Amino acid sequence: MEVNDLIREAAKKIETPFLVLDIEQVKKNYLRLKESMKNVEIFYAVKANSHIEILKVLRDLGSSFDVASVGEINKLLSLGVSPKKMSFGNPIKKEKDIAYAWEVGIEYFSVDSEMEVEKVARNAPGSKVYARIATSSSDSDWPLSGKFGTDIDHVISILNWANRHGLKPFGVSFHVGSQSYNKYKWQEAILESSVVFNKLLKNGIELKMLNLGGGIPVQHTKPIPTVEEIGEIVDDSIQEYLWKHKNLMVITEPGRSMVGDAGILVSKVILKSRKGSKKWIYLDVGVFHGLMETIENFQYEIQIEGKNYDKTDVFTIAGPTCDSVDTIYEDILLPANIDYNDIVYFINTGAYTVEYAAHFNGIEPPKVYTIDELKELIR
């Protein structure tokens, strides 16, 4: 998404920080993914951005949803989304939340441990469970392994365990890591998934679902594989490794790639200073107010209103709170003449930004405006 005249004008008139959302872009992203993965069902990972207009547009396009909590389930139910279109994808759930999800009609549950299988069996007897393989998150900017998923042999025994506990062992899931730069990661993971499919088939259990997780990248500062390229690899890999399994239900859970390029975070320089030889820029947003992912050095493109990168200097940029962790980037190149009150845009920040924002230090999270709301506001 690009900074346009509307956003420029708003940045001058409206109190910063705020996030602008282009809901049309979300629609385009959904349709493009649908076109690139024709027989794949899309379950939007709500955690990337749960803004109500995003959920509504995806609902209207026929999307399904990957949910992680009762809060997300209730939000979708209140928008009239059928529980049949939700999957409880968090492998770490409270028992009462499993019971609630089952009671309202959710059928799919993610597991990656024996105990979680037992919890699901107690509270959602007979439901469909899928187990998560751990894939290496190398080549991605935001790892989702380690805490989640397990090795192939363990996944096989977890699905057998589910079978013994009266659940329906339904499928295999994985996540290649969020913002993955390597399209072959999907191939690797589908090959690994096929080992589980084949082994269970030998035990007389026919799995029905392959869950491709998320991981599709958004354009920031490095080149990325396109959705079309990833779609092709996925398609080829399924043909090659899972051809034995007819009528396979394939789903994907995009978060970042649905909303990342549908947002721009608008902020302002509130202080410029020097400590020893280091030059510092302080903004009215930081790690606790939308730029959480920068703690793992996630790189956003930064534009400064009216300034260009012809002549640059090295700065450390930080947020406004009283915590050193609230340092966005150390030693990055910014326009040398960046100054007090300059407007700073963080490009393609629709995913995992405001969703993480807290009230730390009594500072409000950034306001969120859709393009339409912005038009109204500056009329």
Ligand X SMILES: *Cc1c(COP(=O)(O)O)cnc(C)c1O
Binding site for ligand X (CB under 6 A): 45, 47-48, 66, 89, 175, 178, 213-216, 253-257
Question: What is the closest distance, in whole angstroms, from the C-beta atom of residue 175 to ligand X in the complex?
Answer: 5
Nearer to ligand X, 338 or 357 (CB): 357
C-beta separation of 325 from 295 below 8 A: yes
Compute the half-sphere exposure of residue 346: CA atoms within 13 Å on the CB side of its CA. 34
Number of H helices, E strands in the chain: 11, 18
C-beta separation of 17 from 285 below 8 A: yes
Nearer to ligand X, 141 or 284 (CB): 141
Nearer to ligand X, 59 or 279 (CB): 59
Number of residue whose CB is nearest ligand X: 214
Question: What is the closest distance, in whole angstroms, from the C-beta atom of residue 185 to ligand X in the complex?
Answer: 12
Residue 111: what are its φ and ψ, rounded to 5°?
Answer: -140, 150
CA dist 211 and 41 (Å) reads 9
Q: Which two tokens stand for residue 163?
A: 């079978």
- Closest by CA to 260, choosing from 53, 18, 48, 27, is 48
Strand (E) or helix (H) holding 280 = strand 278-283
Question: What is the closest distance, in whole angstroms, from the C-beta atom of residue 247 to ligand X in the complex?
Answer: 23
Question: What is the closest distance, in whole angstroms, from the C-beta atom of residue 339 to ligand X in the complex?
Answer: 35
Residue in the block written with tokens 């396979």: 248
Q: Which two tokens stand for residue 191?
A: 């090959």
Q: Which two tokens stand for residue 317?
A: 């940029």
CA dist 275 and 265 (Å) reads 27
Within 8 A by CB and 6+ apart from 169, the residues are 129, 131, 159, 160, 162, 163, 200, 205, 207
> How far from 366 is each of 14, 31, 264, 354, CA to CA, in Å?
12, 29, 11, 7
Question: What is the closest distance, in whole angstroms, from the C-beta atom of residue 258 to ligand X in the complex?
Answer: 8
Nearer to ligand X, 16 or 25 (CB): 25
**β-strands 249-252, 140-142 pairing:** unpaired
- Bridge partners for 249 per DSSP: 209
Nearer to ligand X, 220 or 268 (CB): 220
Active site residues: 322
Q: Which two tokens stand for residue 79?
A: 């928008």
Question: What is the closest distance, in whole angstroms, from the C-beta atom of residue 48 to ligand X in the complex?
Answer: 5
CA dist 306 and 40 (Å) reads 44
Nearer to ligand X, 257 or 348 (CB): 257
